[in-house]
Amino acid sequence: MTDEMTLSDISFNEEGYMTNPDEWSRDVARELARANDIELTDKHFEVLEFLRKATMDGEKLSIRRIGKSGIVDIKGFYALFPGAPLKLASKLAGIPKPASYV
């Protein structure tokens, strides 16, 4: 799959979040991550799948919640998704922009 084939079929909002979570696939996540200079590992995907499931279950996401997920601690989460981790991970997971204080 080429960059163009993957991402051109996907709809994003003006902030870069996917608008239809059903369009998400592991390949889409990989392409988006590459654009951010991240090569996704199994650990990354564990976090992304956790975020997708939590969102579908209607949970409110926060860095604190991820830290308590048992998948990764907060320091590890910042290391996996450098910069603004919750926003970046949400973009790569194909879920809406998180509205979290913590």
Q: Give the binding site for other proteins (CB under 8 A).
A: 60, 62-65, 67, 73-75, 78, 82-87, 100-102
Alpha-helix runs per DSSP H in 25-94: 26-35, 42-56, 63-67, 74-80, 85-93
Q: Looking at beta carbons only, is 52 or 87 nearer to other proteins?
A: 87
The closest alpha carbon to 12, from 27, 28, 26, 1, belongs to 28
Q: Smallest distance, Å, CB 52 to other proteins?
A: 20
Q: Smallest distance, Å, CB 25 to other proteins?
A: 27
Q: Looking at beta carbons only, is 70 or 102 nearer to other proteins?
A: 102
Confirm if 44 and 71 have CB atoms less than 8 A apart.
Answer: no
